[in-house]
Chains A and B, each alone.
Chain A
């Protein structure tokens, strides 16, 4: 529970979202203690300042949410409830949330949160520099290019970047050849600027504890051998990528594939033989997170996994046959304006937690 003094100054004010707390409490595990500590400690550090009421937090994202109604699931805007209630929705452009005076945890310090949608990373950076934005997304490749002194908030690696083969690529040797051809290290070092983690697993190491067991190293020689053994028609397929930010990664994968003797080209997402997609780890509980990933990929739900070994076997079963090839786990990284206080405003899972933030200038 969270309490606030009537004068608006912050007191002891850290909390976990009720649903997450419920999940953790319902099925406590020894290996999740570290996670709880990691969540709690930053909130405790942020409570040392004195908050103010008022002001509008200006957030910019690159996702063009085009739905007619505000999104109801996933990280970001939906996480603003119940402290904030949506008051304006312009699909693909803007969403405005107002503080809920009757929020269960008390009124948030901010009066409103204004989310600008579909802003390019470059524009977001400029807006943050000139003071037009308070909180912006930072792509992995740009994280190390931030100006000195800029504050950033990072989540745990909660997004898994993977290749998913469609049904047309039915020769497992072709799938394995591509999986072995991808040079994850080069992509990680250059395109991702060493942000996130190289991984051959669906669940990140911090969540499952066994991700390192899944092989992630490239083997160009074996990839060439596999490609040479399959018919020419099976060596040719397209990689679809929807997010323009991921296109360089797809192009690099196509280049690696070309070196292995595969004819791979980058195409629009629709109708592609292989998709380069990004999935978000939606739960802090590994079994539930794996089930959610399986559901997102259209794979059969993994069986009940009471132990890390069972969970590993379930994940191994999902990856057998190279229908799905995990590549990286990435963190959510946000650039934060200096006037934003009380952070971090995101949880380790990347969820927005703006109810404890306040702005230094306060209400004009």
Chain B
């Protein structure tokens, strides 16, 4: 990732984070305000429910009182034959608009029941105990019906007549009809869970309009309230269907939890508001991000342009263009960096020129040393020979002719030697460009090794040739390759003054070929290996030091590669790779 991309990314992230933070703050503030309003609405509804509850309770108390003072109730109380009043409660309940009505004898036995007529004779123990109800006050209680338990808002009045007692127990079921009478604001609903069984049961949850199909959603909240009977608040559901639910416990006269009132307020408006904010925020954020990216691109371009020019200039320097400079356009850190770069390239250029000059001087010195060394050897016999000829003419004139003839031969031989030395230097200086043609290295090796057979015998060298069959041809100048091979063979013979083994091998190497020349000579040190191909460098007491330099020059002109592998005392192996690019 480029510096510019990173910079752009950082700018973009900063813009996105800023916009996101602003939107989060706005959304949070909105939600808090909305939930405050929701809480107030729920409180109002709970108060409305309580008022309705009280009003219904008063109606029931009045109806029960009316029944208790009626002639029929008094007749039932004083009648010795209670069975005659078996059907009385149903008619009384209808007449007074009660859903539930029981006439119960003083002993607690039911005389007549509107809700369960055939339950006559059964005992209502809680009435006789008189601890579970207060006269003149409506209260919640569990009521047993043929279909099971139900929850009722009930009131009890006592009739005392003729020395007998009769309880009038009337009430209404707290059910869907009761809830349906509540006037609810839009978006709110009321549910009632009747705590009639030990475990949560979905059929006990009733809504104001219909049975609560989503009863299971309320289960955790209801179970929590049953464990901790106090007002609980929870958000149920998700998305636009979510609701804020206030759970209010409803207790009986003995403070036992009989029901849970659930006031649910739809969060649809809040979700829509949040969605609207999110959409607006997304639009603003997109715009801000777009503008931010544009500005970030402009800013990063300004910042990174000098850096990029600097990097390009550094690349040019690395490619060898040492006189590269960078335009300094400012005086800030980037400008200072550019000035430092320019100083650095200037210094590098000067140092390189100094190094070249030094190397050139060193090369000339080496050449002079080598020339002096090479020329000194034949000059010394020349000097001795001339001095011998002078001494013979002065001291032994009779032997001068003989000495002269001998001296002339020596002088001619040494002059020929000098001439050869000069020719070698001349040849190295005039290395021609290779005339490439398809060449078979095996053929060249075979021909070269034949030329050296006599020399191998004289030097006690056991020469071995290992040629790979089907060796591919390579594009090469046969003359120059043969010349390089001759130099390597001569170098190997020189490396084995006491004789030894010489192996010349050819083998395929990638798409090209490899030539190896191995000797069993005294070997080379690591430093000698590194300097071996330097012109005029030699480890021998004779020679010009140009042999391996010529090898490297030939191989290099053929776009090949020459290397040496050797350890002191273990011989050396020279390798030439050709034709594998």
Contact = CB atoms under 8 A, between A and B. Distances in A.
A186 B119 CA distance: 10
8 contacts: A186-B120, A186-B121, A191-B86, A191-B118, A193-B83, A248-B117, A252-B118, A255-B118
Contacts of A219: none
A144 B84 CA distance: 8
Given A144-B84, A193-B84, A194-B83, 14 more contacts: A145-B84, A183-B121, A186-B121, A190-B120, A190-B121, A191-B118, A248-B117, A248-B118, A251-B117, A251-B118, A251-B146, A252-B118, A255-B118, A255-B119
A49 interface: no
Contacts of B119: 255
A252 B116 CA distance: 10
A189 interface: yes
Contacts of B121: 183, 186, 190
Interface in B85-106: 86
Nearest to A193: B83
A190 B146 contact: no
Contacts of A145: 84
A289 B120 CA distance: 35
Interface string B74-86: 0000000001101
Nearest to B112: A190
A299 to B, nearest CB: 29
Contacts of B118: 191, 248, 251-252, 255
Contacts of B117: 248, 251
Interface in A244-260: 248, 251-252, 255
Nearest to B86: A190
A95 B84 CA distance: 35
Interface string B113-130: 000011111100000000
A236 to B, nearest CB: 15
Contacts of A144: 84
Interface in A188-239: 189-191, 193-194
Nearest to B83: A190
Contacts of A194: 83
Contacts of B83: 189-190, 193-194
Q: Can you list the 4 inter-chain pairs with the closest CB atoms, starting with the nearest?
A: A252-B118, A190-B83, A251-B118, A190-B86
A194 B82 CA distance: 12
Contacts of B86: 141, 190-191
Nearest to B121: A186
A145 B146 CA distance: 27
A183 B120 CA distance: 12
A186 B84 CA distance: 12
Contacts of A251: 117-118, 146
A252 B120 CA distance: 9
| Residue of A190, A191, A193, A255 most packed against chain B (CB within 10 A) | A190
A97 B451 CA distance: 158
A356 to B, nearest CB: 35
B116 to A, nearest CB: 8
Nearest to A247: B118
A311 B120 CA distance: 37
| Residue of B86, B118, B119, B122 most packed against chain A (CB within 10 A) | B118
Nearest to B84: A144
A296 B120 CA distance: 33
Nearest to A253: B118
Contacts of A248: 117-118
